[in-house]
Amino acid sequence: MEDLINGNNIRKLFGKNLERIRVLRNISQLTLASQAGLTHPFINDIESCKKWVSPGTLAKLALVLNVEPYQFFLPDSPANEPVDGFFSVYLDDFSDSLQKMVGELKSRYLQDKADD
């Protein structure tokens, strides 16, 4: 456990998550830097674990990437999953529910018309 709470490991986790979230959002380092009011080399240094961030910088990055700041520190953050994979469970469930509802409506209303 002590090894996981090592400052270098936290820096690596943060840099890895920043890069992964940025890529999933289809945002370049240059665009992220510009929108967050930072420099491109600074973003690169954060992602390569050479630099650390202040709380203000953390907030700026989270705002631009539309994530909660704590998500940069989670090993399995939902924000790090591909969007298709993240929503596929919900879409499959929605699709199943919709098909069931359509089937029930067809049997209810088309059955009534067939009886006329």
pLDDT single digits (tens) 8-25? 688 888 999 999 999 999
CATH code, domain with 58: 1.10.260.40
For the chain, what is the domain count?
2
Helix (H) or strand (E) holding 116: none
Are 9 and 64 contained in the same domain?
yes
Average pLDDT over residues 61-84: 76
Q: Are residues 29 and 61 in the same domain?
A: yes
Residues 9 and 41 in one domain: yes
Residue 14 and residue 54 in contact, taking contact as beta carbons nearer than 8 Å:
no
pLDDT at 80: 46
pLDDT score at 66: 93
Same domain? 13 vs 26: yes
Do 86 and 72 reside in the same domain of the chain? no
Judgement on whether residues 69 and 42 belong to the same structural domain of the protein: yes
The mean predicted confidence, pLDDT, of the chain is 79
Q: DSSP for 72-110?
A: GG-TT-GGGS-HHHHHHHHHHHHHHHHHHHHHHHIIIII
Lowest mean pLDDT among 40-49, 71-80, 89-98: 89-98
Distance between CA atoms of residues 68 and 28, nearest Å: 19
Percent of residues, the chain, with pLDDT higher than 70: 69
Pick from 91, 71, 73, 94: which is nearest to 25 by CA? 71
pLDDT at 10: 85
Please, what is the end-to-end C-alpha distance for the chain in angstroms?
Answer: 72
| Segments forming the whole domain that contains residue 34 | 1-81
59, 13: one domain: yes
Are 57 and 104 found together in one domain?
no
Q: Are residues 104 and 71 in the same domain?
A: no
**Shared-domain flag, residues 64 and 88:** no
Statement to judge: residues 99 and 63 lie in one domain: no
